[in-house]
Amino acid sequence: MRLAALLFASLALASSLGGCRIVSDKVLAADEKKSPDAFDANAYVAKIWTAPAVAEFKAKAVDLSMLLPAIEADPDKTGKAYGRGGGEGNPWSYEVKGQGKATAIDVASRHGLLTVEIATKDGAKAVDLQIGPVIFGTALRDSLPSVHFGDFVNQIQFAQVSRALNDAASKGLKGAFDAKTVVGKTVTFYGAATAGSASARMSVTPVAIEIGKAAP
Amino acid sequence: MRFSKSVGLAALALAMAMSGGAARAEGKLIAIITPSHDNPFFATEAEGAAAKAKALGYDTLVLSHDDDANKQNQLIDTAIARKAVAIVLDNAGADASIEAVQKAKKAGIPSFLIDREINKTGVAVAQIVSNNYQGATLGGQQFVKDMGEKGNFAELVGKESDTNAGIRSKGYHDVLDQYPDLKMVARQSANWSQTEAYSKMESILQAHPDIKGVISGNDTMAMGASAALQAAHRADVIVVGFDGSNDVRDQIKAGKIAATVLQPAYQIAQLAVEEADQYLKTKSTGKPEKQSIDCVLITKANADKLNNFQLK
């Protein structure tokens, strides 16, 4: 009688738990291995880095000498024409290229910046290249047409991809220039940029920097 | 069994038509379910969603699950029983909520998730998610700047069961851990609570009087920490929060808190209702399921433009 009552009670409990699923420890362990945190962002990026990522930048990047005045004149129209990801209050991200004189460098901060002046129809405009080791933002990820939020389980994975992309970019820049002598030289670069507020200087996450080359 | 069910339904339909309770039959209901409105963030979400729903001609049912997955389940049942045409949900757990949303889907009710995501696609029609990770990196970057890239700091973490607590902490550390001269001397959960944060801040201060900054997982905890610091005459300690509340905005303007990160709560909630309306009319929202809405850094420079989780 007691056993029956116990069975009944546990059945009643199980049915009232509604959405619960009782699993064995083995299944639980296997589930945890598949957890979102087990995603390897560096491996993912390694697969896409040289191609399509960097190849994409070199082929499709928009010249900043045209883009900078266009963004200033009409940010939304320019975004729709050349950018990705914007709308609903989200900023536009661009694949960009540029050439100009390096006018300043900050390597005292870990968020290193190389300032380059780009000639445009509205005069010289300065942009900051993020030369690492610490890189801010998600411009690289957001400008790439092949990477979508919906492809990942959650925003943590999506963010890890951005970090891995930034790290790959930062590593790729090693040896590209000498911080002590670059100021005053002509710099050519490819990279990603997210359009910020109108007053802020544009920050570019570079995937390639070349010193003293002719116009791309 | 089936025969009697359809007879019952026919009788019901007839009764409804005859009773002239047409208002009830025609009025379409949207259920809006969020965590407790004690936190103005969730109250604002509910407000935004309800306002847009009413503007589009829907009735609304506003409920709170108090971050309890079981309660959330019951509220989904309520929405189903009340024949809601859509559910707008800020959920009680990225894994725990999958079954609840699935249940609603099975009952023919599409769900539009806001703020927090679930770890599965194909169940909700839309997941309009605050990019908490991106927002946290913004807060982390500002914190690093204000700390001059060095010094001792403490981190206050949110409620462990809330996925966003972990996401924001990861976002902070994505930035902070890249600075070897920044040392975390304490890391404690204050469970999103202002009063808990106050007492945790007091004890952290006693144990680490040389502390230079505190980075907090949300604004209510930042308010508690800031109050404790001011009471201990340590207004020099840099405080950064997350959410974009009016309270913290005022403290930023008064120079007591350095920065926060705005989650566009009102905008996201309204967007969810617009997409629900679009979906009900055309069977599609016209957008991918997962949509990420960026957060915005709030400092003294733009605090004036912030009100009720919206930037002008």
Q: What are the tens digits of pLDDT across the range A120-130?
A: 999 999 999 99
* SS (HEC) of chain B: CHHHHHHHHHHHHHHHHHHCCHHHHHCCEEEEEECCCCCHHHHHHHHHHHHHHHHCCCEEEEEECCCCHHHHHHHHHHHHHCCCCEEEECCCCCCCCHHHHHHHHHCCCCEEEEECCCCCCCCCCEEEEECHHHHHHHHHHHHHHHCCCCEEEEEEECCCCCHHHHHHHHHHHHHHCCCCCEEEEEEEECCCCHHHHHHHHHHHHHHCCCCCEEEECCHHHHHHHHHHHHHCCCCCCEEECCECCHHHHHHHHCCCCCEEEECCHHHHHHHHHHHHHHHHHHCCCCCCCEEEECCEEECCCCHHHEECCEEC
Q: Minimal CA–CA distance to B95: which of A39, A106, A154? A: A154
Chain B residues whose beta carbon lies within 8 Å of the beta carbon of residue A133: 178
- Interface subset of B 153-182, CB within 8 angstroms of A: 163, 166-167, 170-171, 174-175, 178-179
Residues of chain B short of pLDDT 50, as ranges, are 1, 3, 15-25
Q: Is the pLDDT of residue A180 over 90?
A: yes
Cα angle A119-A133-A128, degrees, rounded to a multiple of 5? 15
Q: Greater confidence, A9 or B164?
A: B164
pLDDT of residue B23: 34
Instruction: Report pLDDT for B164.
Output: 86
pLDDT confidence bin for A6, thresholds 50/70/90? low
Of A38 and A85, the structure prediction assigns the larger pLDDT to A85
Q: Which of residues 136-195 of A touch B (CB under 8 A)?
A: 136-138, 148-150, 153-156, 158-159, 163
B251 Cβ partners below 8 Å, 6+ apart? B222, B223, B226, B257
- C-alpha distance from A121 to closest chain B C-alpha (Å): 30
Q: To the nearest whole percent, how much of chain A has pLDDT over 70?
A: 80
Distance from chain centroid for Cα A151: 15
Chain A closest-CA separation from residue B91 CA (Å): 14
Instruction: Report d(CA B37, CA B43) in Å as an integer.
Output: 4
| CA angle, residues B300, B302, B308, in degrees to nearest 5 | 105
- DSSP-derived 3-state class of residue A180: coil
How far apart are alpha carbons A212 and A125 in whole angstroms? 19
Q: What is the arithmetic mean of pLDDT over A30-42?
A: 62
Q: Do the chains contact at A154 and B100, CB–CB below 8 Å? A: no
Asked whether the beta carbons of residue B294 and residue A91 sit closer than 8 angstroms, the reply is yes
Give the pLDDT score at A2: 61
Q: Is the ipTM of this complex over 0.85?
A: no
Interface test with A, best of B182, B294, B302, B311 (most A CBs within 10 A): B294
Cα–Cα distance, B230 to B90 (Å, whole number): 34
CA distance A213 to chain B (A): 33
Task: Assess contact for B228 and B201: CB atoms under 8 A.
Answer: yes
A136 to chain B, closest Cα gap in Å: 8
Within an 8 Å CB–CB cutoff, is residue B132 touching chain A?
yes
How distant is the Cα of B102 from the closest Cα of chain A, in angstroms?
9
Looking at residue B13, what is its pLDDT?
A: 52
Q: Do B119 and A36 touch (CB under 8 A)?
A: yes
Q: Residue A5: pLDDT above 60?
A: no
Nearest chain B residue to A32 by CA: give it.
B95
Looking at residue B49, its pLDDT comes to 98
Residues shown for chain A = 216
Instruction: Find the mean pLDDT for residues A153-157.
Output: 86
CA A62 vs. chain centroid, Å, equals 17
The whole-number average pLDDT for the span A67-84 is 93
Note whether B131 contacts A91, CB cutoff 8 Å.
no
A155–B292 CB contact, under 8 Å? yes
Q: Of B103, B267, B292, which is closest to A19 when you measure between CB atoms?
A: B103
Summarize pLDDT for B110-136 with one digit per residue, the tens.
Answer: 999 999 889 899 999 999 998 899 999
Query: Which of B179, B289, B296 is opposite residue A110, by nearest beta carbon?
Result: B179
CA distance A149 to chain B (A): 7
Task: Identify the pLDDT of residue B21.
Answer: 37
B183 vs A: CB within 8 A: no
The edge-to-edge listing of strands for the beta sheet with B182-189 is B182-189, B151-157, B213-216, B238-240
pLDDT confidence of residue A31: 45
The answer as to CATH 2.40.50.420 being correct for domain A39-211 is yes
pLDDT at A136 over 50: yes
Rounded CA gap, B66 and B159, in Å?
A: 12
pLDDT in tens, A89-113: 788 999 999 999 999 999 999 999 9
Domains (range + CATH), chain B: 2-130+265-292 (3.40.50.2300), 132-262 (3.40.50.2300)
User: What pTM did the predictor assign?
Assistant: 0.81
Report the mean per-residue pLDDT for chain A. Answer: 84
Q: Do A155 and B129 touch (CB under 8 A)?
A: yes
